[in-house]
Amino acid sequence: MRKRSHRARAALAVAAAAVLGLAGCDAGGSPAAEGTRARAVRAPVWNRTPASIAAVGDSITRGFDACTVLSDCPEVSWATGSDAKVDSLAVRLLGATGAATHSWNYAMTGARMADLTRQMREAAARDPELVTVLVGANDACRSSTRAMTPVAGFRADFEEALRALRATRPTTQVYVASVPNLKRLWEQGRDNPLGKEVWKLGICPSMLGDADDLGESAARRRDRVQERVVAYNKVLKEVCAQDRRCRFDGNAVYDYRFGTDQLSHWDWFHPSRDGQARLAAIAYRTVTAPDPAP
């Protein structure tokens, strides 16, 4: 009789242990319960609704040639502009009033990756929740292919710029746009006589120089520029992937097929208002997506 009673008590003990195991043993504040509570309260790394934005980069972010010839037009900037037709990233995220008071544009026409560290420090002084980056075209748009920024230097400068931001703003998010397909822009603009005259003033000579030359040498030159842009975008993706608060656009800007409606009707190379609006849409999709682009 005592043996059967002992076996019954043992069976009850095993059953109780199984029930507690299925419940995660949370009745006594076990590690399983603590982990569950920690997961419930831990904030996501990426905030899809940042409340302030600072933009860094080059002439594209300054709205160059979108309003008048050879002039900046920051009001149509894809990142921080106020133009209703563009519907900039800042306006989409913050509303028109919020964008006017909580977005700042530190991009500079002609800037290359080597200039990004200074811009990042200026942006960091505003303590923004998001910094947008679009730079690299001028590193490829040089007087010749030999003058293009080496890929290793491009990488080192980008890493330095991110370190400069992280030195004072470890939690600021960074959206990185890919460098546009410069060869595509040449293909779209080369049939416009006005555009080609403006190109002669020195706009991206490594790609746009001798625009009507379709010979083998010119083709090789343009291919070298294109290959360098592809390499730059690979750097942007790899460096950004090392920072958990950085999102690359997955080459969305590079892959976008700009047409003549999306190009400035002054130089047929920089984005028009319509082109700026397309850049804003790409940025908004990337920033607000549940997961980063592959």
Domain ranges of the chain: 2-41, 53-288
Which among 280, 270, 251, 287 is positioned nearest to 59, based on CA atoms? 270
Q: What is the DSSP letter of 271?
A: B
Give residue 234's pLDDT band: very low, low, confident or very high (50, 70, 90). Answer: very high
pLDDT for the residue numbered 21: 42
List Cα–Cα distances, 233 to 11, 237, 277, 287, in angstroms.
64, 6, 21, 18
Q: Give pTM, 2 decimals.
A: 0.85
pLDDT for the residue numbered 1: 46
**62 or 39: which carries more pLDDT confidence?**
62
pLDDT exceeds 70 at position 38 = no
pLDDT exceeds 70 at position 68 = yes
Q: Which residues pair with 175 in a beta bridge?
A: 132, 247
CATH number belonging to domain 53-288: 3.40.50.1110
DSSP H helical segments within the chain, as ranges?
2-22, 31-41, 89-102, 116-124, 137-140, 151-168, 182-189, 193-199, 205-208, 216-241, 252-255, 273-288
pLDDT above 90 as % of the chain? 79
pLDDT for the residue numbered 13: 45
pLDDT for the residue numbered 195: 84
pLDDT for the residue numbered 243: 97
pLDDT exceeds 90 at position 18 = no
Contacts of 6 (CB under 8 A, 6+ apart): none
**48 or 43: which carries more pLDDT confidence?**
48
